[in-house]
């Protein structure tokens, strides 16, 4: 289910690989978790990964719509959504069986707290999880992808015919409503219509109605590159100075103060809220995006290509799922210990990233394009006479 090599952008794959590395370092319980969380300011790897994934989807599937037609694009989106759903279902079953057994066997609070709703109501949790209603911690981002992939063909079809302006306007409106409780309001009406009692707190940390803005912005950025007449993204000089100032302030602020920008209990912290994609967080993300678009190509041209990052990014879905498996096993077997001796942490990190790289290489080998099919006789068919 990977895009053909001719449609891939190695630089996007490399940055997605970097985002996967940062997410793994954030989720894996080691001494590096806190210092490497949000390393570029008050923006996490999740924002960058979602934006880049949407950009790649817009680029690849938009090109498919132009070359093969809208129906082909829709089928490709839906096939990808089914693949991601299968991954989510497999991860849920892994969590509910292997990790639950380990957590209960060793009485591991890091696991039992993570899946407390399942342990209390296993049947409702299983059904709710398969319906993408119940989303345990760490397993709450793939449901976003599934829903976004299902909605994307309709959004892109509309945008291809009527332009992106109305789509972006509706997306901004939904993001704004999300800041004022849209998700809670919709949940209150939705949960009454299904025979499940999943609490709102168990429906995932990521606010879908806020994060859809990031996805749609990425779709537009990627799809717009398929127009040969499209001008390159350009920014006036003053905006680069503003973006640089914002990025620098947030970078210094984050590493001087910590991942929480204001004292605990301050009413200003919600302005940087990750799960709502709050306004100040979005400003920091915009600043970093502007700088990356303007200066990234020149920087990449001067740096050696890190092929191992490209490999991770090219097999992003498999690597993301594998990183969750490794993290859940680490939490179940070792607990949420962030003060282990350095040799143990280094061994854990080496085992983790070795596993992720092996998964990426195997995935790409299995999904490699069959450019040189074997002759008919080799496929068990008679050669034509």
Is residue 81 included in any domain, yes or no? yes
Q: Pick the range with the lowest mean pLDDT from 77-91, 224-238, 308-322.
A: 224-238
Which of the residue ranges 15-19, 125-129, 224-228 would you say has the lowest mean pLDDT? Answer: 224-228
Nearest to 177 by CA among 217, 209, 204: 209
State the virtual CA torsion across 242, 293, 254, 322 in degrees, nearest 10: 160
- Among 163, 151, 162, which Cα is nearest to 74's? 151
Question: 22 lies in a domain?
Answer: yes
Asked if residue 361 is part of any domain, the answer here is yes
What share of the chain has pLDDT > 90, as a percent? 73
- pLDDT tens-digit profile of 262-291? 998 888 999 999 999 999 999 999 999 999
End-to-end Cα separation, the chain, in angstroms: 36
| Domain annotation covers residue 382 | no
99: left (phi over 0), alpha (psi -120 to 50) or beta: alpha
Residue 381 in domain? no
- Evaluate whether residue 292 is within a structural domain: no
| Res 370: pLDDT | 58
Q: Which of 49-53, 192-196, 255-259, 316-320 has the lowest mean pLDDT?
A: 192-196
Q: How far is CA 154 from CA 149, 214, 269, 276, in A?
A: 10, 17, 36, 24
Q: Convert the pLDDT of each residue in 112-165 to its tens digit.
A: 899 999 999 999 999 999 999 999 999 999 999 999 999 999 999 999 899 999
In total, how many domains does the chain have?
1
Structure tokens, 6: 């001719």
**Domain residue limits at 84:** 5-228+305-367
Angle at the Cα of 142 from the Cα atoms of 136 and 148, rounded to 5 degrees: 130
Residue with token string 């219509």: 193
| Cα–Cα nearest to 212, from 151, 138, 264, 164 | 151
Residue 44 falls inside a structural domain? yes
pLDDT for 12: 84
Stretch 309-334: mean pLDDT, rounded?
A: 95
* Residue 248 CA: distances (Å) to CA of 42, 255, 289: 11, 11, 13
220: in domain: yes
């Amino acid at each position: 289910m990977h895009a053909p090599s001719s449609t891939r952008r190695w630089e996007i794959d490399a940055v997605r690989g970097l985002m996967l590395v940062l997410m793994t370092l954030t989720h894996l319980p080691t001494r590096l978790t806190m210092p490497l969380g949000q390393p570029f300011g008050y923006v996490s790897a999740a924002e960058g990964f979602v934006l880049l994934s949407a950009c790649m989807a817009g680029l690849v599937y938009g090109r498919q719509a132009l070359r093969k037609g809208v129906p082909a694009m829709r089928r490709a989106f839906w096939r990808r959504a089914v693949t991601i759903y299968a991954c989510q279902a497999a991860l849920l079953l892994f969590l509910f069986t292997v990790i639950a057994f380990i957590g209960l066997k060793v009485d591991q609070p890091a696991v039992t707290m993570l899946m407390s709703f399942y342990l209390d109501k296993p049947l409702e949790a299983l059904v709710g999880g398969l319906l993408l209603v119940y989303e345990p911690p760490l397993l709450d981002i793939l449901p976003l992808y599934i829903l976004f992939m299902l909605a994307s063909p309709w959004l892109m079809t509309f945008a291809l015919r009527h332009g992106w302006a109305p789509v972006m306007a509706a997306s901004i409106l939904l993001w704004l409503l999300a800041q004022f409780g849209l998700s809670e309001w919709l949940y209150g009406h939705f949960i009454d219509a299904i025979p499940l009692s999943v609490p709102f707190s168990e429906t995932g940390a990521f606010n879908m109605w806020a994060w859809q803005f990031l996805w749609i912005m990425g779709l537009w950025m990627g799809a717009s590159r398929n127009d040969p007449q499209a001008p390159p993204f350009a920014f006036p000089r003053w905006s680069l100075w503003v973006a640089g100032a914002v990025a620098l302030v947030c970078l210094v602020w984050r590493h001087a103060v910590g991942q929480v920008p204001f004292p605990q209990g301050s009413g200003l912290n919600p302005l940087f809220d990750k799960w709502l994609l709050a306004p100040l967080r979005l400003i920091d993300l915009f600043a970093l995006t502007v700088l990356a678009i303007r200066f990234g190509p020149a920087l990449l041209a001067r740096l050696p290509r890190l092929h191992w990052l490209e490999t991770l990014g090219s097999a992003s879905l498999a690597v993301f799922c594998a990183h969750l498996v490794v993290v859940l096993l680490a939490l179940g077997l070792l607990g949420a210990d962030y003060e282990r001796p350095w040799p143990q942490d280094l061994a854990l990190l080496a085992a983790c990233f070795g596993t992720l790289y092996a998964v990426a290489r195997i995935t790409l080998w299995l999904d490699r394009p069959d450019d040189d099919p074997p002759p008919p006789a080799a496929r068990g068919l008679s050669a034509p006479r």
